[in-house]
Amino acid sequence: MSGEVELFLPSSRSLKDKRQVLASLKDRLRSRFEVAVAEVDHQDRWQRSRLGIVTVSSSARRAEEVLVGAVRYVEEDLRVQVVERIIEER
Q: Where are the alpha helices (DSSP H) in 1-90?
A: 15-33, 60-76
**Tens-of-pLDDT digits for all 90 residues of the chain?**
899 999 999 999 999 999 999 999 999 999 999 999 999 999 999 999 999 999 999 999 999 999 999 999 999 999 999 999 998 876
End-to-end Cα distance, the chain:
6
- CA–CA distance from 39 to each of 36, 52, 84 (Å)? 11, 6, 14
What local confidence, expressed as pLDDT, does residue 22 receive?
98
Radius of gyration of the chain from Cα atoms?
13
Structural domains in the chain, sorted by start: 2-88 (3.30.70.1120)
Residue 21: what pLDDT? 97
For 81, what's the count of Cα atoms within 13 Å in the CB-facing half-sphere?
Answer: 8
pTM of the model: 0.90
